[in-house]
Chains A and B, each alone.
Chain A
Amino acid sequence: DTGVSQDPRHKITKRGQNVTFRCDPISEHNRLYWYRQTLGQGPEFLTYFQNEAQLEKSRLLSDRFSAERPKGSFSTLEIQRTEQGDSAMYLCASSFSTTSSGRETQYFGPGTRLLVL
C-alpha cells in the first residue's frame, strides 16, 4: 500500500502525559497536513508543511502542540501535557503541488485516535 500511513492507530494516555504521532506521506508528495476530527464533526485544519518548512498553523494549534517534518519526508505531531479535550482523531494528509495556486488534492491517512483519560 503506497498511501499515507500513520502510527500508532490508537493511543490511550493519562492526562498530563506527552504523546507523539507519526505520519508517512505518499512518496514524493511535497506537502503534508495535519487535521483533527472530533465525533460528529468534519476534520479541522491544524498545520501544513511544504517540504520541511511549516508554512501555516491554525489557532487550534496551542503551545502544547508541535509538529515537525525534519527532512521533508515523514512528520511528527507532539502534544505535551495532554488534556481530556485533546481526545480526537488526528489525521494526516499529503499532496503534491508545484505552484502556489489550487488544483491540488489532499490524500488522507487512517488517522491516530487519541483518548486522554
Chain B
Amino acid sequence: AQSVSQHNHHVILSEAASLELGCNYSYGGTVNLFWYVQYPGQHLQLLLKYFSGDPLVKGIKGFEAEFIKSKFSFNLRKPSVQWSDTAEYFCAVLDTGRRALTFGSGTRLQVQP
C-alpha cells in the first residue's frame, strides 16, 4: 500500500527565510505527486503537481518542488517565505488504479513577521 511521510510537523520561520518541507512517498506504480496548502479558515488548494518530465516543478506563489526518484522524495521549497504563507501543507501521492490520493499528515508552517 502507498504511504506518504512528512517529517516536519511544525515549522516556525521568520519572514524572508528559506523553506524546505520534506516529503517521502512509497508507491509501486506510476508516480503522480501533489502538494496542497490549507490557509487558516480556507479549504485545501493545489499548490503544485508532478506527473512526468522535468523533475523540478513550479507552482503558485513562488513555490517549487523537486521529484527525486532515487530518494522517493518530493520536497517543497520556497526561497523566501512571507507571513501570508502561514498555513498547513500536505503532500500526496495518487494511486492511479483506485484514483485515491494518499496524504501525509501535514506540516504546519508558521511565519513570523
Query: In angstroms, how far is the closest chain A Cβ from the Cβ of B16?
Result: 28
Which residues of B lie under 8 Å from residue A93 when comparing CB positions?
101
Q: Are A44 and B51 in contact (CB under 8 A)?
A: no
Total A-B contacts with CB atoms under 8 angstroms apart? 61
**1/0 contact string of A30-53 vs chain B (CB within 8 Å):** 010101000011111100100000
Give the CA-CA distance A104 to B95 in the complex, in Å: 11
**1/0 contact string of B81-104 vs chain A (CB within 8 Å):** 000000000101010101111111
Q: Are B105 and A56 in contact (CB under 8 A)?
A: no
Of the residues A42, A48, A91, A108, contact of B99 by C-beta under 8 Å: A48
Known: A102-B30, A102-B32. Is A44-B103 also a contact (CB below 8 A)? yes
Which residues of B lie under 8 Å from residue A91 when comparing CB positions?
43-44
Give the CA-CA distance A41 to B42 in the complex, in Å: 16
Q: Which of A47-88 contact B (CB under 8 A)?
A: 48, 55-56, 58
Residues of B within 8 A of A (CB): 4, 30, 32, 34, 36, 42-46, 49, 51, 90, 92, 94, 96, 98-106
Known A43-B90, A102-B96; further 16 A-B contacts with Cβ < 8 A: A35-B101, A40-B105, A42-B4, A42-B90, A42-B104, A45-B100, A58-B100, A91-B44, A101-B30, A102-B94, A103-B32, A104-B94, A105-B34, A106-B101, A107-B46, A111-B43
